[in-house]
């Protein structure tokens, strides 16, 4: 089938929006590390909407692992379809802001050259939590991470995002080129600070002069939000039918999108505010709110939902007891821990989240969200639990997600079938829980994971007791029965 490309773009059905700028004039100003579906449904879309104002902000998308995205997009001149859908309908639009795609393991020098090029003024990242090579409980670089060790030994031939960033900065320092702005777009609290901390530590381990240069790099924090399920072949087929040409990797998402950014870009930035991004002096309150309400609920839905047999988030929301549980979790246990957000309607935000989770048009798999729990739980659920413990308040609902993660991460579902657990700690967890069936022993083994629980929560007797209580019930009667007990909304 003929593919979407610069040549076929003018012949698409007129109902499909296409870039409103001359793509031949677009040059690279942003290198994005981790060009997955999320980036292509979020930052690349905001950028697409403002390229007509200044075409020097095109995106070079870099994959740090597989060649799949490059293989799909290169024959399409970087073009792809964005499908936005909810129960009310759908729209299709072609995004043109990605003008180059590179695959780091194939050609690390091309990536470094792009990052070191003076025209590159922003390096942004969606490399997921584990891409920061940090200890999730403390946010500090894990000096013994295999990729960190590799990149320290081979600085000119890096593997990790951190290694690429620091080597590119070293080349800029050497050439007398100002540092780019580093923009983390991952779901981490104060993501700019986390990134600054890990790159600074890595530079220190390399060379003090380089560390001094890295210390001056701007790392604004951001809060990013859009639900983007993995694209399926069914999506590809439907979209090709509507386009009349093939698109090897469209992205499918919801109407909602939000981007809150700290405005600290010494070498300039696209006018993202014209596309609806909000610039604020300090982003951490928004991030805490989003991570605890949206992502904390998401992980809870994913583990309990998966165990109860729900394939998607919308199906999990329909399980008897789930919606009142999630509403109560957000209202009773998370909201009281949130910092003051003057002028922000928290109640409307929570209601909108429930509607987004129930979006019947998105097939967002519980298994997808369940990935990398060891890296996600600290900022999604455990920080909230810490705050509740400190306030002497209950956390009966918050503990459910943590216990369900423990059940899930052991790698066996309720029917005794293997679960395909994707997590950097998966092997360690499988080894430490092998042969254990006593809830107390299982919980004790998990709480020993200091990278996740640190040394405070791991030793909290109340927390341990609560986990054992829930895990015993999950093991005895299963997730659906546990959820059913939450059917009546709390007063």
Closer Cβ to ligand CS2, 259 or 486, answer by number: 259
Alpha-carbon torsion angle 20, 21, 24, 26, nearest 10: -120
Residue 364 CB, nearest approach to ligand CS2 (Å): 7
- The CB-of-256 to ligand CS2 minimum distance in angstroms stands at 9
- Choose between 142 and 225: whose C-beta lies nearer to ligand CS2: 225
Site string for ligand CS2, 318-357 (x = CB under 6 A): ----------------------------------------
Which of 360, 417, 457, 468 lies closest to 137, judged by CA?
457
The site for ligand CS2, by CB under 6 A, has a size of 10
Residues 364-403 that bind ligand CS2 (CB under 6 A): 368-369, 376
Among 111, 127, 148, 227, binds ligand CS2 (CB under 6 A): 227
- Which of residues 225 and 482 has its CB atom nearest to ligand CS2 in the complex? 225
CB of 223 to ligand CS2, least distance (A): 9
Give me the sign of the Cα torsion angle 7, 10, 11, 13.
positive
Q: Residue 23 phi/psi, 5° resolution?
A: -65, -25
For ligand CS2, which is the closer residue by CB, 269 or 376? 376
Minimum CB–partner distance for residue 240 and ligand CS2 (Å):
25
- Binds ligand CS2 by CB under 6 A, chosen from 49, 151, 225, 262: 225
Q: How far is the CB of 20 from ligand CS2 (least distance, A)?
A: 26
Query: Does residue 226 belong to the site contacting ligand CS2 (CB under 6 A)?
Result: yes
Report yes or no: 28 and 97 within 8 Å, Cβ to Cβ.
no
| Among positions 40, 298, 388, 410, the unique one binding ligand CS2 when judged by CB under 6 A | 298
CB 367 within 8 A of CB 420: yes
Torsion angles phi and psi, residue 278, rounded to 5: -115, 125
Closer of 121 and 226 to ligand CS2 (Cβ): 226
Out of 76, 120, 187, 374, the only residue in the binding site for ligand CS2 (CB under 6 A) is 187
- Residue with nearest beta carbon to ligand CS2: 298
Interaction of residue 254 with ligand CS2, rule CB under 6 A: no
Q: Site mask, ligand CS2, residues 139-178, x = CB under 6 A? A: ----------------------------------------
**Considering the rule CB under 6 A, would residue 49 count as an interface residue with ligand CS2?**
no
Instruction: List all residues 6 or more positions away from 276 whose beta carbon is below 8 Å from its beta carbon.
Output: 46, 257, 259
Q: Which residue has the tokens 């929570």?
A: 350
Least distance to ligand CS2, CB of residue 226, Å: 5
Nearer to ligand CS2, 240 or 421 (CB): 421
Dist CA 301 CA 401 (whole Å):
8
Q: Could you say which residues in the range 455-484 bind ligand CS2, by CB under 6 A?
A: none
Rounded to a whole number of angstroms, the CA Rg of the chain reads 23
Question: Which parts of this chain interact with ligand CS2 (CB under 6 A)?
Answer: 187, 225-227, 294-295, 298, 368-369, 376
């Amino acid at each position: 089938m003929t593919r979407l490309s610069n040549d076929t773009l003018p012949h698409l059905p007129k109902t499909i929006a296409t870039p409103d700028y001359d793509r031949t004039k677009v040059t690279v100003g942003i290198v994005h590390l981790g060009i997955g579906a999320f980036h292509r449904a979020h930052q690349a879309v905001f950028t697409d909407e403002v390229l007509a104002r200044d075409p020097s902000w095109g995106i070079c998308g870099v994959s740090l692992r597989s060649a799949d995205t490059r293989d799909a997009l290169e024959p399409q001149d970087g073009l792809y379809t964005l499908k936005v859908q909810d129960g009310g309908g759908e729209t299709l639009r072609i995004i043109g802001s990605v003008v180059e795609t590179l695959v780091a393991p194939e050609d690390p020098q091309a990536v470094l050259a792009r990052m070191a090029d003076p025209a590159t003024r922003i390096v942004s990242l969606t490399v997921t939590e584990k891409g920061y090579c940090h200890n999730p409980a403390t946010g500090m670089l894990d000096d013994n991470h295999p990729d960190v060790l590799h990149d320290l030994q081979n600085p000119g031939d890096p593997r990790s995002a951190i290694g690429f960033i620091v080597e590119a900065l070293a080349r800029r320092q050497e050439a007398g080129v100002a540092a780019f702005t580093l923009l983390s777009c991952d779901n981490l609290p104060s993501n700019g600070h986390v990134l600054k901390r890990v790159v600074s530590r890595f530079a220190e381990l390399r060379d003090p002069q380089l560390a001094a240069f890295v210390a001056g790099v701007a790392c604004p924090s951001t809060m990013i939000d859009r639900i983007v399920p993995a694209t399926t072949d069914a999506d590809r087929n439907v979209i090709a039918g509507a386009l009349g040409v093939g698109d090897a990797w469209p992205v499918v998402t919801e109407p909602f999108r939000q981007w809150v950014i700290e405005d600290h870009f010494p070498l300039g930035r696209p006018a993202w505010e014209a596309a609806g991004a909000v610039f604020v002096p300090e982003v951490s309150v928004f991030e805490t709110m989003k991570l605890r309400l949206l992502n904390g609920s998401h992980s809870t839905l994913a583990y309990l939902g998966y165990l109860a047999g729900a394939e998607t988030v919308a199906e999990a929301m329909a399980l008897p007891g789930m919606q009142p549980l999630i509403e109560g979790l957000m209202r009773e246990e998370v909201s009281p821990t949130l910092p003051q957000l003057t002028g922000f309607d928290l109640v409307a935000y929570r209601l909108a989240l429930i509607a987004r989770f129930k979006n019947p048009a998105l097939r967002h798999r519980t298994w997808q969200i369940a990935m990398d729990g060891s890296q996600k739980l600290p900022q999604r659920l455990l920080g909230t639990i810490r705050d509740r413990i400190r306030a002497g308040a209950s956390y009966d609902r918050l503990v459910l997600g943590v216990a369900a993660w423990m059940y899930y991460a052991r790698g066996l579902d309720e029917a005794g079938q293997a679960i395909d657990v994707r997590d950097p700690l998966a092997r360690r967890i499988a080894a430490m829980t092998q042969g254990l069936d006593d809830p107390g022993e299982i919980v004790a083994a998990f709480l020993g994971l200091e990278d996740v629980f640190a040394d405070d929560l791991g030793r909290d007797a109340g927390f341990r007791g609560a986990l054992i209580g829930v895990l015993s019930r999950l093991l005895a009667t299963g997730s659906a029965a546990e959820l059913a007990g939450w059917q009546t909304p709390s007063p």
